[in-house]
Amino acid sequence: MELSINFTLFVSFLLIVLFRLLIKPFISKKHNLPLPPGSMGYPYIGETFQMYSQDPNVFFASKIKRYGSMFKSHILGCPCVMISSPEAAKFVLNKAQLFKPTFPASKERMLGKQAIFFHQGEYHANLRRLVLRAFMPEAVRSIIPNIESIAKDCLESWEGRSITTFLEMKTFTFTVALLSIFGKDEILYRERLKQCYYTLEQGYNSMPINLPGTLFHKAMKARKELAQIVAQIISSRRQSKQEYKDLLGSFMGEKAGLTDEQIADNVIGVIFAARDTTASVLTWIVKYLGENPSVLQAVTEEQENILKSKEEDKGLNWEDAKNMPITSRVIQETLRVASILSFTFREAVEDVEYQGYLIPKGWKVLPLFRNIHHSPENFKDPAKFDPSRFEVAPKPNTFMPFGSGIHACPGNELAKLEILVLLHHLTTKYRWSVAGAKSGIQYGPFALPQNGLPITLYSKK
Protein backbone atom coordinates (compact mmCIF):
# COMPACT_ATOMS: atom_id res chain seq x y z
CA MET A 1 0.00 0.00 0.00
CA GLU A 2 2.77 2.42 0.99
CA LEU A 3 4.68 1.48 -2.16
CA SER A 4 1.61 2.26 -4.28
CA ILE A 5 1.17 5.68 -2.64
CA ASN A 6 4.85 6.53 -3.12
CA PHE A 7 4.67 5.50 -6.78
CA THR A 8 1.59 7.68 -7.32
CA LEU A 9 3.32 10.65 -5.69
CA PHE A 10 6.41 10.07 -7.82
CA VAL A 11 4.38 9.98 -11.04
CA SER A 12 2.47 13.12 -10.02
CA PHE A 13 5.72 14.91 -9.23
CA LEU A 14 7.18 13.82 -12.58
CA LEU A 15 4.12 15.10 -14.46
CA ILE A 16 4.35 18.48 -12.69
CA VAL A 17 8.03 18.76 -13.60
CA LEU A 18 7.34 17.84 -17.23
CA PHE A 19 4.48 20.38 -17.41
CA ARG A 20 6.72 23.14 -16.08
CA LEU A 21 9.64 22.22 -18.30
CA LEU A 22 7.83 21.48 -21.54
CA ILE A 23 4.19 22.54 -21.69
CA LYS A 24 3.90 25.63 -19.50
CA PRO A 25 6.79 27.55 -21.16
CA PHE A 26 5.25 26.84 -24.57
CA ILE A 27 1.82 28.12 -23.50
CA SER A 28 3.11 31.17 -21.70
CA LYS A 29 5.46 31.97 -24.52
CA LYS A 30 2.61 32.17 -27.02
CA HIS A 31 0.34 34.17 -24.80
CA ASN A 32 3.12 36.56 -23.85
CA LEU A 33 4.00 37.28 -27.46
CA PRO A 34 3.18 40.79 -28.67
CA LEU A 35 0.59 41.42 -31.35
CA PRO A 36 1.93 42.82 -34.63
CA PRO A 37 2.22 46.62 -34.68
CA GLY A 38 -0.63 48.65 -36.10
CA SER A 39 -3.84 50.49 -35.30
CA MET A 40 -7.27 49.02 -34.55
CA GLY A 41 -9.07 52.25 -35.44
CA TYR A 42 -12.47 53.16 -34.04
CA PRO A 43 -14.62 50.80 -31.92
CA TYR A 44 -16.34 48.12 -34.04
CA ILE A 45 -15.88 49.84 -37.43
CA GLY A 46 -12.11 49.84 -36.97
CA GLU A 47 -10.39 51.10 -40.12
CA THR A 48 -13.02 49.88 -42.59
CA PHE A 49 -13.90 53.39 -43.75
CA GLN A 50 -10.27 54.41 -44.26
CA MET A 51 -9.64 51.30 -46.35
CA TYR A 52 -12.74 51.42 -48.55
CA SER A 53 -12.97 55.20 -49.03
CA GLN A 54 -9.67 55.43 -50.91
CA ASP A 55 -7.45 53.51 -53.29
CA PRO A 56 -6.52 50.34 -51.34
CA ASN A 57 -2.96 50.79 -52.60
CA VAL A 58 -2.71 54.02 -50.60
CA PHE A 59 -4.13 52.46 -47.43
CA PHE A 60 -1.91 49.39 -47.54
CA ALA A 61 1.23 51.24 -48.64
CA SER A 62 0.93 53.79 -45.83
CA LYS A 63 0.54 50.99 -43.28
CA ILE A 64 3.50 49.03 -44.62
CA LYS A 65 5.66 52.14 -44.61
CA ARG A 66 4.78 52.83 -40.97
CA TYR A 67 4.61 49.34 -39.47
CA GLY A 68 6.43 46.99 -41.82
CA SER A 69 5.25 43.99 -43.86
CA MET A 70 3.08 42.59 -41.05
CA PHE A 71 0.59 44.73 -39.14
CA LYS A 72 -2.74 44.52 -37.32
CA SER A 73 -5.97 46.33 -38.13
CA HIS A 74 -9.74 46.02 -37.70
CA ILE A 75 -11.79 45.62 -40.89
CA LEU A 76 -15.49 44.80 -41.42
CA GLY A 77 -16.01 44.21 -37.70
CA CYS A 78 -13.12 41.73 -37.44
CA PRO A 79 -9.64 42.07 -35.90
CA CYS A 80 -7.09 41.04 -38.47
CA VAL A 81 -3.42 40.76 -39.37
CA MET A 82 -2.29 41.90 -42.81
CA ILE A 83 0.83 40.49 -44.43
CA SER A 84 2.67 41.65 -47.53
CA SER A 85 5.83 39.54 -47.78
CA PRO A 86 5.98 36.54 -50.15
CA GLU A 87 7.28 34.33 -47.35
CA ALA A 88 4.41 35.21 -45.00
CA ALA A 89 1.82 34.75 -47.75
CA LYS A 90 3.21 31.30 -48.53
CA PHE A 91 3.14 30.40 -44.84
CA VAL A 92 -0.50 31.40 -44.39
CA LEU A 93 -1.82 29.98 -47.68
CA ASN A 94 -0.03 26.65 -47.34
CA LYS A 95 -0.70 25.92 -43.66
CA ALA A 96 -4.27 24.68 -43.92
CA GLN A 97 -4.02 23.17 -40.45
CA LEU A 98 -3.45 26.66 -38.99
CA PHE A 99 -5.51 28.91 -41.27
CA LYS A 100 -8.91 28.19 -42.79
CA PRO A 101 -10.72 30.11 -45.56
CA THR A 102 -13.35 32.41 -44.14
CA PHE A 103 -16.25 34.43 -45.49
CA PRO A 104 -19.03 36.49 -43.92
CA ALA A 105 -21.99 34.31 -42.91
CA SER A 106 -24.26 36.18 -45.35
CA LYS A 107 -22.02 35.18 -48.28
CA GLU A 108 -22.15 31.54 -47.20
CA ARG A 109 -25.96 31.67 -47.08
CA MET A 110 -26.12 33.28 -50.50
CA LEU A 111 -23.75 30.94 -52.35
CA GLY A 112 -24.44 27.84 -50.26
CA LYS A 113 -22.78 26.55 -47.10
CA GLN A 114 -21.64 23.35 -48.82
CA ALA A 115 -19.67 25.23 -51.53
CA ILE A 116 -15.99 24.38 -51.93
CA PHE A 117 -14.78 27.84 -50.81
CA PHE A 118 -16.01 27.39 -47.24
CA HIS A 119 -14.44 24.03 -46.41
CA GLN A 120 -11.22 22.13 -45.93
CA GLY A 121 -10.22 18.59 -45.02
CA GLU A 122 -11.54 15.49 -46.77
CA TYR A 123 -14.73 17.12 -48.06
CA HIS A 124 -12.75 19.97 -49.67
CA ALA A 125 -10.18 17.56 -51.11
CA ASN A 126 -12.95 15.49 -52.72
CA LEU A 127 -14.60 18.57 -54.23
CA ARG A 128 -11.30 19.88 -55.54
CA ARG A 129 -10.60 16.51 -57.19
CA LEU A 130 -14.01 16.58 -58.88
CA VAL A 131 -13.55 20.16 -60.13
CA LEU A 132 -10.05 19.45 -61.45
CA ARG A 133 -11.30 16.36 -63.25
CA ALA A 134 -13.80 18.50 -65.18
CA PHE A 135 -11.36 21.36 -65.83
CA MET A 136 -8.19 19.42 -66.67
CA PRO A 137 -6.76 19.88 -70.19
CA GLU A 138 -8.21 16.59 -71.45
CA ALA A 139 -11.69 17.78 -70.51
CA VAL A 140 -11.61 21.44 -71.58
CA ARG A 141 -9.89 20.83 -74.91
CA SER A 142 -13.07 19.17 -76.17
CA ILE A 143 -15.13 22.34 -75.62
CA ILE A 144 -12.73 24.72 -77.41
CA PRO A 145 -14.98 24.86 -80.52
CA ASN A 146 -17.93 25.80 -78.30
CA ILE A 147 -15.93 28.50 -76.49
CA GLU A 148 -14.79 29.84 -79.86
CA SER A 149 -18.37 29.97 -81.11
CA ILE A 150 -19.46 31.90 -78.00
CA ALA A 151 -16.55 34.35 -78.41
CA LYS A 152 -17.34 35.01 -82.08
CA ASP A 153 -21.02 35.54 -81.37
CA CYS A 154 -20.27 38.00 -78.58
CA LEU A 155 -17.80 40.03 -80.64
CA GLU A 156 -20.16 40.21 -83.60
CA SER A 157 -22.93 41.50 -81.32
CA TRP A 158 -20.61 44.26 -80.01
CA GLU A 159 -19.46 45.40 -83.46
CA GLY A 160 -20.20 49.04 -84.28
CA ARG A 161 -21.70 49.70 -80.83
CA SER A 162 -20.60 51.62 -77.78
CA ILE A 163 -20.34 49.02 -75.04
CA THR A 164 -19.24 48.77 -71.42
CA THR A 165 -16.43 46.27 -71.70
CA PHE A 166 -16.83 44.73 -68.25
CA LEU A 167 -20.56 44.13 -68.63
CA GLU A 168 -20.15 42.50 -72.02
CA MET A 169 -17.21 40.40 -70.85
CA LYS A 170 -19.42 39.18 -68.00
CA THR A 171 -21.91 37.92 -70.59
CA PHE A 172 -19.12 36.04 -72.35
CA THR A 173 -17.58 34.50 -69.22
CA PHE A 174 -21.02 33.63 -67.81
CA THR A 175 -21.94 31.70 -70.94
CA VAL A 176 -18.59 29.86 -70.92
CA ALA A 177 -19.06 29.02 -67.24
CA LEU A 178 -22.50 27.54 -67.97
CA LEU A 179 -21.04 25.54 -70.86
CA SER A 180 -18.27 24.07 -68.69
CA ILE A 181 -20.75 23.13 -65.94
CA PHE A 182 -23.86 22.02 -67.86
CA GLY A 183 -22.49 21.22 -71.31
CA LYS A 184 -25.05 21.59 -74.10
CA ASP A 185 -27.83 21.67 -71.50
CA GLU A 186 -26.91 25.29 -70.74
CA ILE A 187 -28.79 26.54 -73.83
CA LEU A 188 -32.08 25.37 -72.37
CA TYR A 189 -31.62 27.17 -69.06
CA ARG A 190 -29.33 30.10 -69.96
CA GLU A 191 -31.86 32.94 -69.73
CA ARG A 192 -33.40 31.76 -66.45
CA LEU A 193 -29.98 31.26 -64.90
CA LYS A 194 -28.80 34.63 -66.18
CA GLN A 195 -31.76 36.48 -64.65
CA CYS A 196 -31.34 34.74 -61.29
CA TYR A 197 -27.63 35.49 -61.22
CA TYR A 198 -28.23 39.13 -62.03
CA THR A 199 -30.55 39.41 -59.02
CA LEU A 200 -28.14 37.46 -56.81
CA GLU A 201 -25.28 39.70 -57.86
CA GLN A 202 -27.24 42.85 -57.03
CA GLY A 203 -27.63 41.72 -53.44
CA TYR A 204 -24.23 40.11 -52.92
CA ASN A 205 -22.60 43.17 -51.35
CA SER A 206 -25.77 44.58 -49.77
CA MET A 207 -26.54 44.73 -46.06
CA PRO A 208 -27.71 41.23 -44.99
CA ILE A 209 -31.24 42.31 -44.02
CA ASN A 210 -33.65 39.61 -45.15
CA LEU A 211 -36.83 41.68 -45.25
CA PRO A 212 -39.21 41.99 -48.24
CA GLY A 213 -38.11 44.72 -50.63
CA THR A 214 -34.41 44.63 -49.71
CA LEU A 215 -31.73 43.61 -52.21
CA PHE A 216 -30.61 40.84 -49.87
CA HIS A 217 -34.14 39.39 -49.69
CA LYS A 218 -34.45 39.45 -53.49
CA ALA A 219 -31.04 37.81 -53.80
CA MET A 220 -32.02 35.00 -51.42
CA LYS A 221 -35.20 34.38 -53.44
CA ALA A 222 -33.08 34.21 -56.60
CA ARG A 223 -30.72 31.83 -54.82
CA LYS A 224 -33.65 29.53 -54.03
CA GLU A 225 -34.76 29.58 -57.67
CA LEU A 226 -31.23 28.78 -58.82
CA ALA A 227 -31.22 25.70 -56.61
CA GLN A 228 -34.55 24.65 -58.13
CA ILE A 229 -33.16 25.01 -61.67
CA VAL A 230 -30.11 22.91 -60.79
CA ALA A 231 -32.39 20.28 -59.18
CA GLN A 232 -34.45 20.21 -62.40
CA ILE A 233 -31.32 19.62 -64.51
CA ILE A 234 -30.11 16.89 -62.13
CA SER A 235 -33.49 15.12 -62.31
CA SER A 236 -33.53 15.33 -66.11
CA ARG A 237 -30.06 13.83 -66.35
CA ARG A 238 -30.89 10.95 -64.04
CA GLN A 239 -33.84 10.07 -66.25
CA SER A 240 -31.75 10.17 -69.43
CA LYS A 241 -29.03 7.92 -67.87
CA GLN A 242 -26.40 9.39 -70.22
CA GLU A 243 -22.78 9.93 -69.25
CA TYR A 244 -21.76 13.58 -68.97
CA LYS A 245 -18.14 14.80 -68.81
CA ASP A 246 -18.88 18.36 -67.69
CA LEU A 247 -18.61 19.62 -64.10
CA LEU A 248 -22.17 18.67 -63.18
CA GLY A 249 -21.48 15.18 -64.50
CA SER A 250 -18.39 15.01 -62.30
CA PHE A 251 -20.40 16.08 -59.26
CA MET A 252 -23.16 13.54 -60.03
CA GLY A 253 -20.83 10.56 -60.40
CA GLU A 254 -21.54 7.58 -58.15
CA LYS A 255 -18.10 7.80 -56.57
CA ALA A 256 -18.45 11.55 -55.92
CA GLY A 257 -20.62 10.88 -52.89
CA LEU A 258 -22.41 14.24 -52.98
CA THR A 259 -25.99 15.00 -52.02
CA ASP A 260 -28.17 17.06 -54.35
CA GLU A 261 -27.89 20.01 -51.95
CA GLN A 262 -24.09 19.80 -52.01
CA ILE A 263 -24.12 19.62 -55.82
CA ALA A 264 -26.39 22.69 -56.07
CA ASP A 265 -24.27 24.75 -53.64
CA ASN A 266 -21.09 23.98 -55.56
CA VAL A 267 -22.58 24.58 -59.00
CA ILE A 268 -23.90 27.97 -57.89
CA GLY A 269 -20.60 28.84 -56.21
CA VAL A 270 -18.45 27.88 -59.19
CA ILE A 271 -20.53 29.97 -61.61
CA PHE A 272 -20.26 32.97 -59.31
CA ALA A 273 -16.48 32.55 -58.96
CA ALA A 274 -15.90 32.02 -62.68
CA ARG A 275 -17.82 35.02 -63.90
CA ASP A 276 -16.59 38.34 -62.51
CA THR A 277 -12.91 37.57 -62.03
CA THR A 278 -12.28 36.42 -65.59
CA ALA A 279 -14.41 39.27 -66.97
CA SER A 280 -12.31 41.72 -64.94
CA VAL A 281 -9.07 40.32 -66.37
CA LEU A 282 -10.39 40.61 -69.93
CA THR A 283 -11.47 44.20 -69.32
CA TRP A 284 -7.99 45.15 -68.08
CA ILE A 285 -6.35 43.39 -71.04
CA VAL A 286 -8.43 45.44 -73.48
CA LYS A 287 -7.37 48.59 -71.63
CA TYR A 288 -3.66 47.74 -71.49
CA LEU A 289 -3.51 46.63 -75.13
CA GLY A 290 -5.14 49.89 -76.18
CA GLU A 291 -2.62 51.89 -74.18
CA ASN A 292 0.42 49.95 -75.43
CA PRO A 293 0.41 49.86 -79.27
CA SER A 294 3.68 47.91 -79.52
CA VAL A 295 2.32 45.16 -77.27
CA LEU A 296 -0.95 45.09 -79.21
CA GLN A 297 0.99 44.77 -82.46
CA ALA A 298 3.06 41.87 -81.11
CA VAL A 299 -0.07 40.04 -79.90
CA THR A 300 -1.87 40.70 -83.20
CA GLU A 301 1.04 39.36 -85.25
CA GLU A 302 1.22 36.23 -83.09
CA GLN A 303 -2.50 35.59 -83.51
CA GLU A 304 -2.44 36.34 -87.26
CA ASN A 305 0.38 33.83 -87.72
CA ILE A 306 -1.76 31.16 -86.06
CA LEU A 307 -4.66 32.16 -88.32
CA LYS A 308 -2.48 31.92 -91.47
CA SER A 309 -1.19 28.49 -90.48
CA LYS A 310 -4.68 26.99 -90.42
CA GLU A 311 -6.80 25.69 -93.24
CA GLU A 312 -9.84 27.78 -94.13
CA ASP A 313 -12.79 27.31 -91.75
CA LYS A 314 -10.64 25.41 -89.27
CA GLY A 315 -11.10 26.64 -85.72
CA LEU A 316 -8.64 26.87 -82.86
CA ASN A 317 -7.44 23.77 -81.06
CA TRP A 318 -5.52 22.95 -77.89
CA GLU A 319 -2.15 23.08 -79.65
CA ASP A 320 -2.93 26.60 -80.93
CA ALA A 321 -3.74 27.76 -77.40
CA LYS A 322 -0.41 26.41 -76.18
CA ASN A 323 1.44 28.25 -78.95
CA MET A 324 0.62 31.81 -77.83
CA PRO A 325 3.62 32.80 -75.63
CA ILE A 326 3.34 36.57 -76.20
CA THR A 327 -0.39 36.61 -75.52
CA SER A 328 0.11 34.40 -72.46
CA ARG A 329 2.66 36.86 -71.05
CA VAL A 330 0.16 39.68 -71.59
CA ILE A 331 -2.31 37.73 -69.45
CA GLN A 332 0.32 37.19 -66.75
CA GLU A 333 1.32 40.84 -66.67
CA THR A 334 -2.30 41.94 -66.57
CA LEU A 335 -2.92 39.64 -63.61
CA ARG A 336 0.08 41.18 -61.87
CA VAL A 337 -0.55 44.87 -62.56
CA ALA A 338 -4.33 44.80 -62.15
CA SER A 339 -4.29 42.31 -59.23
CA ILE A 340 -8.01 41.66 -59.53
CA LEU A 341 -8.10 40.20 -56.02
CA SER A 342 -6.23 42.68 -53.83
CA PHE A 343 -6.24 40.22 -50.94
CA THR A 344 -7.93 37.12 -49.60
CA PHE A 345 -9.22 36.14 -46.17
CA ARG A 346 -8.01 33.37 -43.89
CA GLU A 347 -8.79 32.77 -40.21
CA ALA A 348 -6.41 31.42 -37.56
CA VAL A 349 -7.87 28.18 -36.14
CA GLU A 350 -5.52 28.40 -33.14
CA ASP A 351 -3.01 30.82 -31.65
CA VAL A 352 -0.15 31.06 -34.15
CA GLU A 353 3.34 32.40 -33.61
CA TYR A 354 4.97 33.98 -36.64
CA GLN A 355 8.17 36.04 -36.73
CA GLY A 356 7.97 36.73 -33.00
CA TYR A 357 4.35 37.93 -33.10
CA LEU A 358 1.08 36.36 -31.99
CA ILE A 359 -1.77 35.84 -34.42
CA PRO A 360 -4.65 35.05 -32.04
CA LYS A 361 -7.14 32.29 -32.71
CA GLY A 362 -10.19 33.62 -34.56
CA TRP A 363 -8.38 36.64 -36.07
CA LYS A 364 -8.58 37.14 -39.82
CA VAL A 365 -5.34 37.07 -41.80
CA LEU A 366 -5.11 38.91 -45.12
CA PRO A 367 -2.30 38.09 -47.60
CA LEU A 368 -2.01 41.29 -49.66
CA PHE A 369 -1.54 40.03 -53.22
CA ARG A 370 -1.64 43.52 -54.72
CA ASN A 371 1.25 44.73 -52.57
CA ILE A 372 3.32 41.63 -53.29
CA HIS A 373 2.73 42.09 -57.03
CA HIS A 374 3.58 45.80 -56.86
CA SER A 375 6.67 45.60 -54.68
CA PRO A 376 9.83 46.90 -56.43
CA GLU A 377 11.72 44.19 -54.53
CA ASN A 378 9.77 41.58 -56.48
CA PHE A 379 9.25 43.36 -59.82
CA LYS A 380 11.40 46.13 -61.24
CA ASP A 381 9.42 49.28 -62.09
CA PRO A 382 6.20 47.57 -60.88
CA ALA A 383 3.75 50.22 -62.15
CA LYS A 384 4.90 49.70 -65.75
CA PHE A 385 2.94 47.31 -67.97
CA ASP A 386 5.70 45.11 -69.38
CA PRO A 387 4.76 41.55 -70.42
CA SER A 388 8.38 40.82 -71.39
CA ARG A 389 9.26 40.58 -67.68
CA PHE A 390 7.62 37.13 -67.72
CA GLU A 391 10.14 35.84 -70.25
CA VAL A 392 11.95 34.92 -67.03
CA ALA A 393 10.05 33.18 -64.26
CA PRO A 394 9.35 35.47 -61.27
CA LYS A 395 10.89 34.78 -57.87
CA PRO A 396 9.05 32.12 -55.86
CA ASN A 397 5.84 33.25 -54.12
CA THR A 398 5.90 36.73 -55.68
CA PHE A 399 3.22 36.01 -58.31
CA MET A 400 0.01 34.51 -56.93
CA PRO A 401 -2.93 35.66 -59.06
CA PHE A 402 -4.79 32.40 -58.43
CA GLY A 403 -3.81 32.06 -54.79
CA SER A 404 -1.61 29.28 -53.48
CA GLY A 405 -1.87 25.99 -51.64
CA ILE A 406 -4.85 23.64 -51.57
CA HIS A 407 -7.29 26.53 -52.02
CA ALA A 408 -5.67 27.87 -55.20
CA CYS A 409 -8.21 28.41 -57.98
CA PRO A 410 -8.86 25.01 -59.63
CA GLY A 411 -10.39 26.61 -62.73
CA ASN A 412 -7.42 28.75 -63.77
CA GLU A 413 -6.64 26.66 -66.89
CA LEU A 414 -10.16 27.12 -68.21
CA ALA A 415 -10.01 30.85 -67.45
CA LYS A 416 -6.75 31.27 -69.38
CA LEU A 417 -8.12 29.23 -72.29
CA GLU A 418 -11.28 31.33 -72.73
CA ILE A 419 -9.20 34.53 -72.51
CA LEU A 420 -6.82 33.29 -75.23
CA VAL A 421 -9.69 32.28 -77.51
CA LEU A 422 -11.43 35.64 -77.23
CA LEU A 423 -8.18 37.60 -77.71
CA HIS A 424 -7.43 35.61 -80.86
CA HIS A 425 -10.62 36.82 -82.54
CA LEU A 426 -10.56 40.30 -80.99
CA THR A 427 -7.06 41.16 -82.24
CA THR A 428 -7.31 39.54 -85.67
CA LYS A 429 -10.72 40.91 -86.63
CA TYR A 430 -11.36 44.09 -84.65
CA ARG A 431 -10.02 47.41 -83.43
CA TRP A 432 -11.47 49.61 -80.70
CA SER A 433 -11.40 53.06 -79.17
CA VAL A 434 -11.94 54.01 -75.54
CA ALA A 435 -14.61 56.56 -74.65
CA GLY A 436 -14.49 58.91 -71.68
CA ALA A 437 -11.81 58.99 -68.98
CA LYS A 438 -8.84 56.78 -69.76
CA SER A 439 -7.54 56.61 -66.17
CA GLY A 440 -8.96 55.80 -62.79
CA ILE A 441 -9.79 52.62 -60.93
CA GLN A 442 -13.00 51.62 -59.19
CA TYR A 443 -13.34 48.89 -56.57
CA GLY A 444 -16.59 47.05 -56.15
CA PRO A 445 -15.25 44.57 -54.99
CA PHE A 446 -12.90 43.80 -57.90
CA ALA A 447 -10.47 46.34 -59.28
CA LEU A 448 -11.84 47.69 -62.58
CA PRO A 449 -11.05 50.50 -65.02
CA GLN A 450 -13.29 53.50 -64.42
CA ASN A 451 -16.92 52.94 -65.48
CA GLY A 452 -16.14 49.42 -66.66
CA LEU A 453 -14.13 50.72 -69.67
CA PRO A 454 -16.62 52.06 -72.27
CA ILE A 455 -15.36 51.33 -75.80
CA THR A 456 -16.58 51.27 -79.39
CA LEU A 457 -15.67 48.16 -81.37
CA TYR A 458 -15.02 48.29 -85.13
CA SER A 459 -14.41 45.58 -87.72
CA LYS A 460 -11.03 45.67 -89.48
CA LYS A 461 -12.65 44.81 -92.80
207-217 pLDDT tens trace: 778 889 898 89
pLDDT band at 13 (very low <50, low <70, confident <90, very high): very low
pLDDT score of 53: 67
Residue 223 to residue 271: CA distance in whole angstroms = 12
Most confident segment among 27-31, 49-53, 276-280: 276-280
* Beta-sheet pairing, 99-101 with 454-459: unpaired
Q: Do residues 397 and 87 touch, judged by C-beta distance below 8 A? A: yes
pLDDT score of 431: 95
Instruction: Specify the higher pLDDT residue, 99 or 10.
Output: 99
The residues near 370 (Cβ < 8 Å, ≥ 6 apart) are: 56, 57, 60, 339, 342, 343, 447
pLDDT score of 44: 76
pLDDT score of 111: 83
pLDDT band at 3 (very low <50, low <70, confident <90, very high): very low
* Beta-sheet pairing, 357-359 with 352-354: antiparallel
Helix, strand, or coil here: 38? Answer: strand
* Position 359 pLDDT exceeds 90: yes
Average pLDDT, the chain: 86
Q: Where do the domains of the chain lie, and which CATH numbers do they carry?
A: 33-103+340-373 (3.30.43.20)
Q: Do residues 340 and 274 touch, judged by C-beta distance below 8 A? A: no
pLDDT score of 118: 81
Q: Do residues 135 and 402 touch, judged by C-beta distance below 8 A? A: no
pLDDT in tens, 155-209: 999 999 999 999 999 999 999 999 999 988 778 888 999 899 889 888 876 777 8
Question: Does a cis peptide bond (omega within 30 degrees of 0) precede residue 79?
Answer: no
pLDDT score of 23: 41
pLDDT in tens, 414-458: 899 999 999 999 999 999 999 876 677 877 667 889 899 999 999
Residue 430 to residue 165: CA distance in whole angstroms = 14
Number of residues that this document lists for the chain? 461
The residues near 461 (Cβ < 8 Å, ≥ 6 apart) are: 429
The mean-pLDDT minimum among 236-245, 288-297, 331-340, 356-365 falls in: 236-245
Residue 264 to residue 262: CA distance in whole angstroms = 5
pLDDT score of 5: 45
Q: Chain centroid to CA 406: how far?
A: 13
What counts of helices (H) and strands (E) characterise the chain?
Answer: 19, 12
Residue % of the chain over a pLDDT of 90: 54
pLDDT score of 153: 96
Q: Do residues 337 and 373 touch, judged by C-beta distance below 8 A? A: yes
Torsion of Cα atoms, 367 then 369 then 372 then 373, to 10°: 170
